[in-house]
Amino acid sequence: MGALKKKTGVYYGVNAILTVILFAVLLFLIDSGTLSRYNTTIITNVCINVILAVSLNLVTGILGQLVLGHAGFMLVGAYAAALFTKNIGLPLSVSLPIGLILGGLLAAVFGVVIGIPALRLRGDYLAIITLGFGEIIRVVANNLKITNGAQGLGGISSLQTRNNPAGMFIYAFAIAALLIFLSFTFGRSRHGRAVLSIREDEIAAESMGVNTTYYKLFTFVLAAFFAGIAGGLAAHQTGMIDPSKYDFNRSVEILIMVVLGGMGSITGSVISASVLTLLPEMLRDFDQYRMLVYSVILILVMLFKPSGLLGRYEISIPGLFQKLTGFIRKKSSGKGEAQS
Amino acid sequence: MNFITQTLNGLGLGSIYALVALGYSMVYGIVQLINFAHGDIIMVGGYILYLILVNLGMPLWMAIAAAILVCAVAGVLIQRVAYHRLLVHNAARISLLITALGVSIFLQNLFMILFSSNPRSVPTLIDFGSLSLGSLAIPSKTVINIVVSVIMMVGLQLLVNKTKIGKAMQAASEDTGAAKLMGINTNYVVAFTFAIGSALAAVGAVLYCNTYPQISPDMGNLLGLKAFVAAVLGGIGSIPGAMLGGYILGVAETLTKGYVTSTAYDAVVFGILILVLLIKPTGLLGENRKEKV
């Protein structure tokens, strides 16, 4: 047990170092101008989509409940964060973090309001209630004065400026890294195991004393919180909020990232979110058929590999490295690694 | 007087919701699946009606018959291709839901590519002016909607309670495993349920086109969502419940549109869903089923 703990610690350390290296390399490439403004925007969008996919995976993969209104939570967070930074009159470097947290909190409040009626019950009510929420929140945003109606909210200042090209990237990357770390520790914690038990068998979990409503609500609200933050990031990245961009198709796009990557696999979500953000950029002509292809992929994956391409498997670079060295050692000495 | 007119219009709108809700409710009763594609079946029905009526210039009765037939076949096809494998393997419910969602997105985007996303206007189908009751003039579309939906429900009740296949449907929804052991071909029953549900959706599509003469590839989205709320409100799995839920929802929506807000009336439907789930999750006429381990 002690050895296992030590190994996990080493894994976390190695992963932290690798993350910092990746961050430093990207930051250097952006700051030095090697990556154009356009490419920087795409990389930031990758980070935002990673946040969305990983947070949705907490509910869909680890808890096993379908959420069809992730874009709705984004929209709430986007408006809250943007209205805050626009009206508070503080420099953006101060107001953006507060605005993002506010956006996340407001999305979380909405999550509680629609989560309580749906998650008290057993069954698929969360799917339909979040679907309704995503549709209705857009209708409401289109008709409110404070959100500037259907024209959307413009004139949101962005940290990504000529002098500071990596401004938004730093935030998006840091939050994505934090969320991934949180998801891993959550999945292995006492609370995470409670959530997993609900996915496996809700009745059994309840009879073992797991407060199912609490844990379901907790996970859902956590995901809503991060979706709100991602919405705030997206609003400040593009400088405007167009409510029609946060529609049902956007929610489905995030769901596809989770399903393809593997329901329950955090690294799977990261990879598929990255690929599915970069791919449409490269295949612009194909845009018209994108949703059609996505829907066929959804059906095929569900029919032939219901847990998603990676399933619950996690890719781990230190683990991969250890397997590789273990394999080499086994080959050279023929003893295996039983002693280590 | 205005209030009565509004209520009657609400009943007319509710009739459409009710017909669609019946399909949701029946499918949910047998395979416990929220068939997201059901709303899009209405859209398919609307387009078939339009194509045969306008593009081919055939008479109305042929267009209606074709819409019903195509929708029923499409329903069975969707069940066979997309859901059958998962149902047989007893897959996780979330897989079924995601597949249903995939079918819904597929249908919508297929029709968007085939017919563009622009809405098309449907010519008037049936219009005999209006029915006057005293000083009240009820538009023909409202009369047709209510009459057709009531006929459909009575027919469905007879089918479910009096015929052999109807009793098989009841048995399968009560306990699929036991029904299978009693010699009921549950695969056939499930396919039949999808066919009936989709045919009812096609009737709903005809009424919809008669009431709001416009079709678009995404018309099934909100219509499907509202019909599902109607099914939950009435008690999912219950046929009279689905009708009752549809009527209540239609009236609530029309009255909100008339007296409260003309823009955000869709939010009322959502509010009703939240209230039902909070107060009486089994719906008005639904039975409380105990879960067995």
Interatomic CA distance for residues A128 and B101, integer angstroms: 11
- Whether A331 maps to a domain, the answer reads no
Strand partners, B139: B130
Instruction: Pick the closest to residue B153 from B42, B35, B37, B26 (CA basis).
Output: B26
| Residue in chain A lying closest to B34 (CA) | A124
Residues of B with CB under 8 A from a CB of A: 34, 82, 85-86, 91-99, 101-106, 108-110, 113, 221-222, 225, 228-229, 232, 263-264, 266-267, 269-270, 273-274, 277-278, 281, 291, 293
Helix, strand, coil: what percent of chain A each, to 5?
A: 80, 0, 20
Is B136's pLDDT higher than 80?
no
* Mean pLDDT score across all residues of chain A: 85
Torsion sign, CA atoms B76, B74, B215, A284: positive
Tokens representing A134?
């995503």
| Residue in chain A lying closest to B229 (CA) | A128
**Alpha-carbon distances of A298 from A27, A293, B41, B98, B113, rounded to whole Å:** 35, 9, 19, 7, 19
Is A337's pLDDT higher than 50?
no
- Whether A219 maps to a domain, the answer reads yes
Interatomic CA distance for residues A15 and A32, integer angstroms: 25
- Whether A182 maps to a domain, the answer reads yes
Instruction: Pick the closest to residue A41 from A123, A159, A137, A132 (CA basis).
Output: A159
Which pLDDT score is estimated for A338? Answer: 43
Q: How many CA atoms lie within 13 A of A15 on its CB side?
A: 17
CATH number for A285: 1.10.3470
Concatenated DSSP letters of A306-331: TT-SSTT----HHHHHHHHHHHHHHH
Is B290's pLDDT higher than 80?
no
Residue spans of the domains in chain B: they are: 12-123+136-218
| Interval A88-117: pLDDT, tens | 877 888 888 999 999 999 999 999 999 998
Number of domains comprising chain A: 1
Range with the largest mean pLDDT of A111-115, A262-266, B1-5? A111-115
A232 by Cβ neighbours in 10 Å (0-12 / 13-18 / 19+) ranks as buried
From A37-51, B6-20, B119-133, the region with the lowest mean pLDDT: B119-133
| Interval B53-100: pLDDT, tens | 888 888 888 899 999 999 999 999 999 999 988 888 888 888 889 999
Is A202's pLDDT higher than 50?
yes
Residues of A in contact with B40 (CB under 8 A): none
Interatomic CA distance for residues B145 and B11, integer angstroms: 8
Is A319's pLDDT higher than 80?
no
**Alpha-carbon distances of A246 from A122, A252, B92, rounded to whole Å:** 28, 11, 29
Question: Has the ipTM of the complex gone over 0.90?
Answer: no
Torsion sign, CA atoms A271, A180, A57, A292: negative
Interatomic CA distance for residues B143 and A326, integer angstroms: 78
What stretch of H or E contains B98? helix B93-115
Domain hosting A30: range is 12-323
Q: Do A203 and B278 touch (CB under 8 A)?
A: no
Is B288's pLDDT higher than 90?
no
Which pLDDT score is estimated for A333? Answer: 65
**Alpha-carbon distances of A163 from A30, A31, A44, A302, B186, rounded to whole Å:** 11, 9, 17, 47, 68
From A47-51, B143-147, B200-204, the region with the lowest mean pLDDT: B143-147
Q: Do A135 and B221 touch (CB under 8 A)?
A: yes
The model's pTM is 0.87
* Mean pLDDT score across all residues of chain B: 88
Question: Three-state DSSP class for B120?
Answer: strand
Which pLDDT score is estimated for A336? Answer: 43
Concatenated DSSP letters of A237-289: HHSSB-GGGSSHHHHHHHHHHHHHH-TT-HHHHHHHHHHHHHHHHH-GGGGGG
| Interval B5-27: pLDDT, tens | 888 889 999 999 999 999 999 89
- Whether A330 maps to a domain, the answer reads no
Concatenated DSSP letters of B131-199: EEETTEEEEHHHHHHHHHHHHHHHHHHHHHHHSHHHHHHHHHHH-HHHHHHTT--HHHHHHHHHHHHHH
- Whether A340 maps to a domain, the answer reads no
Q: Do A263 and B94 touch (CB under 8 A)?
A: yes
Q: Do A132 and B101 touch (CB under 8 A)?
A: no
Helix axes A2-31, A167-188, angle to 10 degrees: 170
Interatomic CA distance for residues A21 and A285, integer angstroms: 35
Is A215's pLDDT higher than 90?
yes
Collect all residues with Cβ–Cβ distance below 8 Å to A135 and sequence separation of at least 6: A69, A72, A248, B221, B222, B225, B266, B270
Q: What is the mean pLDDT of the segment spanning B21-40? A: 89
Which pLDDT score is estimated for B72? Answer: 95
Percent of chain B, pLDDT > 90? 45
| Interval A125-149: pLDDT, tens | 888 889 889 988 888 888 888 888 7
Question: Three-state DSSP class for B37?
Answer: coil
Question: Three-state DSSP class for A175?
Answer: helix
- Whether A171 maps to a domain, the answer reads yes
Residue A316 and residue A275 in contact, taking contact as beta carbons nearer than 8 Å: no
Residues of A in contact with B96 (CB under 8 A): 302
- Whether A5 maps to a domain, the answer reads no
- Whether A338 maps to a domain, the answer reads no
Interatomic CA distance for residues B131 and B115, integer angstroms: 36
Which pLDDT score is estimated for A339? Answer: 42
Residues of B in contact with A129 (CB under 8 A): 273-274, 277
Is A271's pLDDT higher than 70?
yes
